[in-house]
Structure 1
Amino acid sequence: MAAPGRTNSLLDVDGIAVGQAHDATVRTGVTVILPETRAVCSADVRGGGPGTRETDALQPHTLVDAVDAVVLSGGSSWGLGAADAVAAALGARGRGFSMQNKPGVPVSPVVPSAILYDLTNGGAKDWGEAPPYARLGREALDACGEPLSLGRAGAGYGALAGSLPGGIGSASIVTADGYTVAAIVAVNSVGSVRIPGREAYWAHALEIGGEFGGYRPEGGAFDAEDWGDAKLNPNPGENTTVALVATDAVLTSADAKRLAIMAQTGLVRAIRPVHTPFDGDTVFAMSTGKKPLADPAPLTLTRLGSLAADCLARAIARGVHEAACSEV
């Protein structure tokens, strides 16, 4: 049977490191996903208010099909500055895309990013012309290789999942034939991750080993217009769930796009409502290319996409559960 990997996190995908940094005074943070070598990656954007960098370059019809890192950040548009700093640091290390290997011609690091809005969470945001995101991006990059913290960490440090504390979640699964699929997510949604009036998460049916508390729904039906712990007065651009799913399977750019599309279903399984005009929901999909797709390849990709959606749903519930535990 399939089962979670050793850490039940994105770190179970061979060839990926994660680094995180936060500023407790500002109540914000950054998460960097760093493949050991350039990795095939794509993205799917479903929210009505996204904030992204270089996601257009990841579409299957474009020239560049691999990335050097992916950055998830708080800070709304300010947070996109974290990816600039990560790209600068990786470029200084000689990592990046190159059309011509000539002396004096620098490589171009490909560092896509997606941000969430955490500007109204009470932190000190009076940074003037010196926002903290470049610093936090460098710190998160330097932290790659460390154990992964969940809950109030990284890009999810200042997040709110509906009216509950949001945070960083992660989950993994290893199939019987040896493929690893995993997800990492920063949950800052309009919608609620819990069933109205219950402690149980929408993703409860996918839970493995009590990883987000083991709560099960009790009672009868609920009002279809009851959104439970959702934000009651959402404003455009002030929310968003940003995530990355990854696998060690060999994928093309088109395969990675399909994986990202299928993984978006994990948000639907874990958050209600989701993909609203007020969210910027974005999911990246990455391949480290360690294990060829078994024939028939489309069926294997379908299996991986379904597992990616499950992992993302579990990661969302884990992130909010771990954030609640850290608030106690």
Structure 2
Amino acid sequence: MTGAPGRRNLITDVPGLAVGQAEDAAARTGVTVILPGDRAVAGCDVRGGGPGTRETDALAPENLVEAVDAIVLAGGSVYGLAAADGVVAWLGAQGRGFGLVRRDGVPLSPVVPAAILYDLANGGDKAWGEEPPYRRLGREAAAGAGEAFALGTAGAGAGAMAGALKGGTGSASWILDDGVAVGALACVNSHGSVLAPGGRTFWAAPFEVGAEFGGLGPAGLSAAPGDWGPSKGSAVPRQNTTIACVATDASLTPAQAKRMAMMAQAGLARAIRPAFAPFDGDVVFALSTGGRPLTGGEAQLARIGSIAADCLARAVARGVYEAAAWPGAAAWRDLPA
């Protein structure tokens, strides 16, 4: 299969998408907003046993809403869902949203699905009383959205841990030979390990392009059943989640976007061992900005879904590769060569 990463190797290589991020350094947390220029068709697939989400039911293909105004990924566990409130308020002030009743004096209703990860126990200052920072962070992230954004200890991955290593926010893209763009963004806070046992090799190594996460190759990529590599020491419910978004500019229906999200989940299984555990909250959203017709029908959709899974595996590894350490949390770059 021919093609190449986009110019930025980010999800924003999909035309029509911007990404904004905001962090609270003292609280060791943050928010990532994926912002389409126009309302985008969306789907969602939830595989983790302990998810935290907002408005995912609205994305079911049989339901009324066929497009969204933004996707929000946030730290903060249940507090982080308030980040979507800030994004909704910002979008509404811009005159963006879904209009069931279009009449003067009736505001539009922005549709902003969201998913959260748990970073409450990472040592940051969470003494926020009745004013958690997430609504503010959501608004700041949306207002600052653009084509370039930071990877690693940034956005919703700012406070994340990936197994025993510092987690983070990663992204990757691929432009197919027919011009269709596919991209992925992941905020990695997994229980499972992103590395094979006994070394620095990412499980996602077979899918690496160039040296985007170290260029070590797949040598030594093996493990006995049940030998995951450096995962978290204890499996605490609701404290382990990888939340992600994949996107394409191929024009998809809501049902096709759902299928893309389902296929993309394979990328998490390629990059994290184990994935989809009862105590993980793994969630993948899919967006279609619709700039190109889906000329190849379901066969082309299958190809896009497969590439989305590859991009997501790469995004997971890039998020950990780019992450910076903090006290008590070693980064990939700290591991012995």
* TM bin (shorter chain): over 0.9
In structure 2, distance between residues paired with 1:143 and 1:92: 15
Aligned residue runs from structure 1 range 24-63, under 5 A? 24-63=25-64
Residues 221 and 152 of structure 1, relative CA distance in 2, 3 Å threshold: closer
- Is the contact made by 1:198 and 1:218 (CA closer than 8 Å) also made in structure 2? no
- Is the contact made by 2:21 and 2:145 (CA closer than 8 Å) also made in structure 1? yes
Aligned residue runs from structure 1 range 209-248, under 5 A? 209-219=210-220, 222-248=223-249
In structure 1, distance between residues paired with 2:54 and 2:217: 39
Aligned residue runs from structure 1 range 26-175, under 5 A? 26-145=27-146, 147-175=148-176
TM-score normalized by structure 1?
A: 0.97
Aligned length: 327
Q: Which residue of 1 aligns with 2:199?
A: 198
In structure 1, distance between residues paired with 2:254 and 2:192: 31
* Further displaced range: 99-108 or 301-310: 99-108
| 3-state secondary structure, aligned to 2:4 | coil
The alignment's C-alpha RMSD in Å is 1.3
Unmatched tracts of structure 2, length 5 or more: none
Q: Does 1:323 align with 2:317?
A: no
Q: Which residue of 2 aligns with 1:307?
A: 307
In structure 1, distance between residues paired with 2:172 and 2:306: 14
Aligned residue runs from structure 1 range 251-270, under 5 A? 251-270=252-271
Aligned residue runs from structure 1 range 15-26, under 5 A? 15-26=16-27
Residues 127 and 6 of structure 1, relative CA distance in 2, 3 Å threshold: same
In structure 2, distance between residues paired with 1:271 and 1:198: 15
Q: What is the deviation of 1:324?
A: 4.8
In structure 1, distance between residues paired with 2:273 and 2:321: 16
* Paired amino acid for 2:34: I
Residues 151 and 255 of structure 1, relative CA distance in 2, 3 Å threshold: same
In structure 2, distance between residues paired with 1:289 and 1:42: 14
Residues 102 and 47 of structure 1, relative CA distance in 2, 3 Å threshold: same
Q: Which residue of 1 aligns with 2:5?
A: 4
Q: What is the deviation of 1:218?
A: 4.2
- Is the contact made by 2:251 and 2:290 (CA closer than 8 Å) also made in structure 1? yes
Identity across aligned pairs (percent)? Answer: 62
* Paired amino acid for 1:64: V
* Further displaced range: 229-238 or 300-309: 229-238
Q: What is the deviation of 1:221?
A: 5.0
In structure 2, distance between residues paired with 1:18 and 1:206: 24
